[in-house]
Structure 1
Amino acid sequence: MAINTPKVIVISHLPLPYDGIGSWTTLYDYYLTTDTHQIDYIICPEPKKRYKDITYSCTRTSTVQKIKNKLGTSKSYERIFKALDEVLEKEDAVIIKIIDNAGVVLPLKAYLNDNYQTKHCYLQFYYHGFPPFFGNPKGRLFFAALDETILLTHASYKDHLAYYTDLPCAFSVLHNGIDGNLFFKLDHAPRAALRLSLGITPKEQVFLWLSQDRPKKGLDFILKIWNSFYKNNPQCKLWVIGADRAENLSGVTFYGKIPNQELSQYYQAADVYLYPTLCKEGFGLTLTEAMKSGCYCIASANGGIPEVVQHGKLAVLISNPNYRQEWEDAMNKTVELFAENKLQDVFKVPENLYNLSTWCAELNTIITKAKDTF
């Protein structure tokens, strides 16, 4: 019997569209507003608004249940399964895209086996981290339950390949993308005007840190370095975005959280972007935004970051991210380049690199190839 064209279902533990600050949710918001997206259904908590051309099956989950589900500590996914029932009653072939919620994969596979053996279901897991997160015994079962895993970098795939004894599913790699209409390098005159409007004098050099305020993101690490660095470089400033602290530190301004659509001016006005991640990052979306906005970037050689910056062609890599002296040396080098008016010309980031339009096209290719397996 011929199989109907498979429908595509997204299962998300966050509401889509998402009104908070996120990374992959921003990508999907852009994708789901294009005319070429291939998503038919979304299963997620009820959002404040819905995409017009997508059918929703909404889950209503308590905060405690959300945490348990995300951590994989609960076997109760009835709300997701009930929402999925609404779709599978109408469709006989589906591609189920699970975004980051690893805990739901094995219970979902068991549920499908028990209740929908006559249906054709392709499970696709989209992972936005970098390192393997399950040990070998559970990892073997996890990947056997999937038809495909999508990772952010080839480096992450190599890490998985080296770690797991068995890796029984297909893999694809999809680099993140950013909005090139929002994050781009300004020409000299408009950049000078922007800096002036933000209170920066021509002789002042601005460093920028932007992330969520968590220990693994390296803010406290950088602030300790800044204390000694600033004593010898009082013409420098450090802007901190994403952390709202009451600390009074010389040369440091804390801006708290700023909406994504307002961030571009800070990237464009800054001279140096610091990305001192102390964990294995999947991709580093803010790093990419900074590169595309014209910042001279200094980044930890951690996780997928070396691949993102083309192993030093697009940014300075700190090979030992936990060594403070390496960061201070790299920061001091930027002071020399700034004084020589060379800082803005060190790295050339191609305009078409990591664009959202490219990301959308590549995601569509991955979905189309999944459909071709039916």
Structure 2
Amino acid sequence: MNPDLNLLHPYPFEKLAALKAAVSAPAHLKDIMLSIGEPKHEPPAFVLETLVCNLSKLSNYPTTKGLPELREAIATWASKRFQLNAGTFTADNHVLPVNGTREALFAFAQAIIDRSKPDALIVSPNPFYQIYEGAALLSGAQPYFLNCTLENNFIPDFAAVPVEVWKRCQLLFICSPGNPTGAVMSTAQLKELIALADQYDFVIASDECYSELYFDESNPPAGLLQACAELGRDDFARCVVFHSLSKRSNLPGLRSGFVGGDAKILEKFLLYRTYHGCAMPVPTQLASVAAWEDEHHVIANRSAYRQKFDAVLDVLSGALPVTKPDASFYLWPKTPIKGEIFAQQLFAQQKVTVLPGSYLAREANGINPGEDYVRMALVAPLAECVEAAQRIKQFVQSL
């Protein structure tokens, strides 16, 4: 067996299950889950219809590069959404369909890391999506974590990173809007990272799967490719983005997304993926075309989340120090007691499940930046989210 498998930590939800198993919750209360970032809004009916109408195409082997019409739909969407310079982001050279961003983020590290350099680092924010860490460990690199705290507005302080770290860095993972904090990086910050990537010769992998969940229709979150376009960097050198239909279109089970950016990197990544055997089924591709070509359902989706945030924050006001994030569907409140104890006792007393922030982070520079926080995913129906907020408020008042 690969000995690096022994380096992997239990997944956060394994830890959460063990934490909850140690207590019992009131039998008369309905269990409300705010722990998993799994969208519960209805998927677009027209996407499901497209999927069903094309099931006969399961008799065809899909290509790893994907259907031209899917890549074209993605290129058109991304060019418009991120204001890319005309004709620079092409279906043939800059887009690869993937089976959701989770598998793509993991696979990308395996393709990028140069194993001939035993001191290679993969740098990521902390807290973080645990796939970044697993990808680093199984690629033969070491993870290096940058703490995201209230003091730095939950954006890593890249200027404070030691030069020796940048010299060893081969891949930088960023997540904007962030999981779990919802913090959004500005184009100025993204441009600074691009300059660092040029200076120290590393690749930026920007996880943007929450990019379409925001509150101000006139001010969507910026993306890495957008920063490239503003710099006139139309080859997107060293820059690769990851997008998904899971959150944007409430289709987590479709397992559909894309990787886009630097054509030279994607050429090699396509070779890797051809051997990896991860081509997207043709019916899924055609359903994805329908989703990427429509914005009406995405706008309606954002509206539903706005209602939930407004209602929940109204209930929690004064009970917990929590504010609306820049984007995403998460709340990241600081807890009056350690986050792990808060989550366990909240379940034991109120049967509401939240995720301890420490499970999403690692100790770095002497602290675990998630230790005094919990993550709440406002994915349940509006009424359930409001009831959960009321129970949380009652719990906090009992402490």
How high is the TM-score relative to the length of structure 2?
Answer: 0.27
* Max Rg structure: 1
Comparing both chains, which one has the higher relative contact order based on Cα–Cα distances under 8 Å and sequence gaps of 6 or more?
2
* TM-score between the two structures when normalised by the length of structure 1: 0.28
Structure with higher helix content: 2
